[in-house]
């Protein structure tokens, strides 16, 4: 159908940004995850090789867009409940072992 029109509508509904704004953010980040630097795509399904673009990372408290992340970094932040305290404890744990 119209994948760009659909993606624009999806971004607008979920995050309040346009596809153009997503693409500008992607360009600003040089096409890579804002945390780990992985490329634009993330393997979504290892069996089929289906890929997806970087996820829009946002604060669940304020709704503010923070950047674009690969699936792994986006999930890590979510699993840590967006808590800097938990993330620091995780880092300390890894350093100590």
Q: Is the pLDDT of residue 40 over 70?
A: no
* Mean pLDDT for all residues in the chain: 89
Domains along the sequence of the chain with CATH: 3-96 (3.40.1800.10)
User: pLDDT, tens digit, for every residue of 3-13?
Assistant: 889 899 999 99
Q: Where are the beta strands (DSSP E) in the chain?
A: 42-45, 50-52, 55-58, 65-69
* pTM for the predicted model, two decimal places: 0.80
User: What is the band of 49 on the pLDDT scale with cuts at 50, 70, 90?
Assistant: low
CA–CA separation, 92 vs 78, rounded Å? 19
């Amino acid at each position: 159908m119209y994948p760009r029109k659909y993606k624009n509508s999806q971004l607008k509904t979920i995050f309040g940004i346009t596809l153009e704004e997503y693409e500008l953010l992607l360009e600003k980040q040089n096409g890579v995850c804002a945390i780990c630097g992985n490329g634009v795509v993330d393997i979504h399904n290892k069996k089929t090789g289906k890929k997806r673009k970087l996820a829009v990372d946002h604060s669940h408290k304020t709704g503010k867009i923070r950047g674009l992340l690969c699936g792994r970094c986006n999930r890590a932040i979510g699993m840590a409940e967006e808590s800097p305290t938990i993330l620091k404890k995780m880092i300390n744990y890894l350093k100590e072992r």
